[in-house]
Amino acid sequence: MIKLAKISTTPPSGTDKDGTKKRTEGYVVRIGELNEILRAQQKHSLLVVLQGMDGSGKDGAVKNVFKDCTPFNLSVYAFKKPTEMEFAHDFLWRVHEQVPAKGDIKIFNRSHYEDILIQRVHGWIDEERVRRRMAAINAFEELMVFDNRTTVLKFYLHISKDEQEKQLQERIDEPEKHWKHNDGDWEERKHWDEYMRCYEDAINQSKIPWTIVPVDDRWYRDYLIAKTVCEALEEMNLAYPIE
């Protein structure tokens, strides 16, 4: 069982920052190359799920890790509060439309897990619905894997409470970050302990495992995500189609 409180939010002791950054650069370039082959072959797809508390660096991870990818088959979808139309359907209805087609990489900035996180934290759904939704999520992800040859990579961006405060304060203090500021982020922070419990439960109940990414040092966040994505693409044994 994963216990988030026992996992560091910083890189392992003795990690070489400069060397790690250099390795990250290599992974980023290789991801760009493999993405082009993925697009050409059109036999596999990749779904990258980024979840984490506000300020954990989801946007930065996307920008830095996938910067060498062609935009033709790479897209990002940010899940926000459901619309009235979406609320009128089952909770996965709006998600299924966004999953990647063969040959594509899709990045979820937040995801279908929001429906057992924020709604659970605030008591908008009961525990029986949480249980059923978790079962539906597991089935949904397995459907993607086995029916559409989609590799699903799930990253929990593990930030400390102190680092989150620093990141949120920067959105107030630094003019170029004002656009990111949202008073609601500070309100959600008041529920930190309950969020940690719900994240931990979702991670442990998942059939497809999560990668826990320490993000207090952003260079290590980029390294671990890039390494994991690159290795997953390599395992697909991609090759350009030959006529």
pLDDT in tens, 175-211: 888 888 888 888 889 999 999 999 999 999 999 999 9
CA distances 32 to 28, 67, 155, 240, Å, are 6, 8, 20, 14
Q: Which residues pair with 150 in a beta bridge?
A: 45
- Give the confidence band of 156 by pLDDT, cuts at 50, 70, 90: very high
Average pLDDT, the chain: 95
Q: In terms of pLDDT, which residue wins out, 176 or 126?
A: 126
**Distance (Å, whole) CA 228 – CA 200:** 21
pLDDT for position 7: 96
Give Dmax (Cα) for the chain. Answer: 59
**Distance (Å, whole) CA 31 – CA 89:** 36
pLDDT for position 178: 85
**Distance (Å, whole) CA 166 – CA 149:** 40
- Give the confidence band of 9 by pLDDT, cuts at 50, 70, 90: very high
What average pLDDT score do residues 158-179 get?
91
- Domains detected in the chain: 17-235 (3.40.50.300)
- Give the confidence band of 117 by pLDDT, cuts at 50, 70, 90: very high
pLDDT in tens, 46-79: 999 999 999 999 999 999 999 999 999 999 999 9
Provide the Cα torsion 47, 141, 79, 205; round to 10°: -120
pLDDT for position 66: 98
**Distance (Å, whole) CA 167 – CA 53:** 11
- DSSP H helices, the chain, are 17-41, 58-65, 84-87, 93-96, 118-121, 127-148, 161-173, 183-189, 192-205, 218-235
pLDDT for position 177: 87
| In the predicted structure, residue 2 carries a pLDDT above the cut 80 | yes
